[in-house]
Chains A and B, each alone.
Chain A
């Protein structure tokens, strides 16, 4: 019994083996192996799609996710394996999202306050799923605050990195983050009231 359990434990792929397999798939895909690239797609699509949904919109997330993977396929020749494939892909996704936002005409002056936003979020949550309600609340944040909130609180970027990505000052990034949190705090307050 103990012996079989030990075998089972040793055969479960750990994070290192998964990372090695992913690196091998990236290497194969870089040489044109479509099946290896499909495995990479399956591994990362949920995270990339969620990022696109939060950064842009739920309506356009599918299309932009496709763009990310097509761009990754085209640029795989430049992937040197110095960083994890997921990190490399994530950076491509951020760039694609920012480019798409620029194409949509959402300029940086959207960083300015939008007084209607707070009113939009005053409505009580309608879904039973708290995560879904929270996602919807994030979607309704002003663009600037939403970008910084997603990159910092969900994706884990620092303010310096966000400033570099969005071409804004670090202080602006901090201010937008605080603003987004304060807006969402009200949303959570409403949520708690509705459940009481």
Chain B
């Protein structure tokens, strides 16, 4: 038998009827024995379903699974998360984003520092002569500041070839360097790339307007 309410019994059982419908169905159940019997049977079905035990497979599946996962291409293992006391977790995308942000900040910082370092050096006439000196088994840099005599055009821009200058002239030039001339330390010369020096076209050739730093190492020469 089917009446207006027989198809709504499951909803009533699950508490999904609206309040008015719920009340009306309850009144109907008082008068309809068949619906009341069906409702009781449906309740038994639901209870039986919830009580069903879970049964494992007849045979152990682990050996086959182990073989398959040994061949399985695993894309990404979870990275160990940084456990912070305040329950912060870094997932892989977050760690990558943080790394990129750190690289950007570092790049901008280095650019700004280099830009500030190169700005006061531009008008210098004497400049720093980036001539390295090898002393013994260790290569070290001795930056030399050279005044730019007008009579020595090849030294004006501090671009004189190292072979043209004697050791004594380098010592002299260091002594007579104007105090206003900025000097770069050896450590700066180690990190500045040679392309930092600006170039001007003179005599048909591009020449740097500032001395080109020479990269040296404190490692023993072999």
Which B residues are CB-close (under 8 A) to A182?
A: 38, 42
**A70-B68, A178-B9, A185-B42 known; A153 vs B61 contact (CB < 8 Å):** no
**What residue of chain A has the Cβ atom nearest to residue B89's Cβ?**
A80
Evaluate contact between B56 and A174: CB separation under 8 angstroms: no
Interface residues on chain A, size class: 35 or more
Question: Nearest 5 A-B pairs (CB), nearest first?
Answer: A30-B78, A153-B49, A178-B10, A46-B56, A77-B76
> In the complex, what distance in Å separates the CA atom of A92 from the CA atom of B57?
19
Evaluate contact between A34 and B49: CB separation under 8 angstroms: no
Residues of B within 8 A of A (CB): 7, 9-11, 16, 38, 41-42, 44-46, 48-59, 61-62, 64-66, 68-69, 72-78, 80, 89, 91
> In the complex, what distance in Å separates the CA atom of A34 from the CA atom of B80?
17
Between A and B, how many residue pairs show CB distances below 8 Å?
A: 118
Per-residue B-contact encoding for A131-154, CB less than 8 Å = 1, 0 else: 100110010000000000100011
Which B residues are CB-close (under 8 A) to A46?
A: 54-56
Which B residues are CB-close (under 8 A) to A185?
A: 38, 41-42, 44-45
Within 8 A of B (CB), among A146-196: 149, 153-154, 159, 174-175, 177-178, 181-182, 184-185, 188-189
Residues of A within 8 A of B (CB): 27, 30-32, 34, 37-38, 41-42, 45-47, 49-50, 53, 61-62, 65-66, 69-70, 73-74, 76-80, 130-131, 134-135, 138, 149, 153-154, 159, 174-175, 177-178, 181-182, 184-185, 188-189
Contact pick for A47, options B16, B38, B54, CB 8 Å:
B54
> In the complex, what distance in Å separates the CA atom of A30 from the CA atom of B78?
5
Evaluate contact between B52 and A134: CB separation under 8 angstroms: yes
Evaluate contact between A154 and B49: CB separation under 8 angstroms: yes
